[in-house]
Amino acid sequence: MSKLDLPLIVEPDALAPILEQEGLLVVDLTKPSTYAQLHVPGAVFLDYRNIVANRKPTLGLVPPMAELEQTLSGIGIDDSIHVVAYDDEGGGKAARLLWTLEAMGHQHFSLLNGGLHAWANEGYPVQQTPVEPVFRHFNAAPDSTPVADREYILQHLESPDVALLDARTPDEFSGVKRYAERGGHIPGAINMDWMLALDQSRNLRLKERDVLKSILDQLGVRPEQQVVTYCHTHHRSSLSYIMLKWLGYPRVKGYPGSWSDWGNRNDTPVA
């Protein structure tokens, strides 16, 4: 078990002094060119493509368990490791890793608030030398609690106890922009563009808790509900998932495949 007691959302000033601490692994999900240019000291690189599976037209699925075990072992994750993930695009890729870890039964993880933007722009140390990962054995213990699939959503479409939070843009939500066979949204879903959660004036950190809670209150997303987050592939909505967990919403699920699954079928209702 990880001995580090870090919050789900960790600030750069809290991470900087413990970078060399045993049991900590910082994972970089930027582009390879960005990682080569600068990264958090000691951070290992993970290609986002290795934690998602595509079965066209459905994108953003969970890879087979054996493949995930291999990927996560290869970058140095096992039960003793606390993972701190970051990217350079608002946290979607990093949050998808954390959601995947939770779905595989790994509970020790944090998101670096603001990612590389906050870290580099605020003068924290960076390095260019690539970090060679230490192989560890990741043993998956799959947990369906964080996962919602199409069947689950279809069964709960009429349930007032379940809220569907769509993290796409308003144009995608309304069907004006369409990246699947059909445009629109899952009936009853509530739209909160994932970028609304980010504070542009604070290096893409999450907005303050009370601000986010106020937005969700106004949208009618209540903490007592089972909240399911989705976008087009469960990339952007992974950040919504982590945001809700951070705000203390006790029951949150993410929908891998998301609209690329729902909107490319003819047997799912669309609004």
Report the candidate in 86, 112, 106, 108 with the shortest Cα–Cα distance to residue 23. Answer: 108
Say whether 231 is catalytic: yes
Set 15, 95, 97, 231: catalytic member: 231
Distance between CA atoms of 29 and 51, rounded to whole angstroms? 10
Residue pair 35/130 in contact (Cβ under 8 Å)? The answer is yes
Hey, which residues are catalytic here? 231
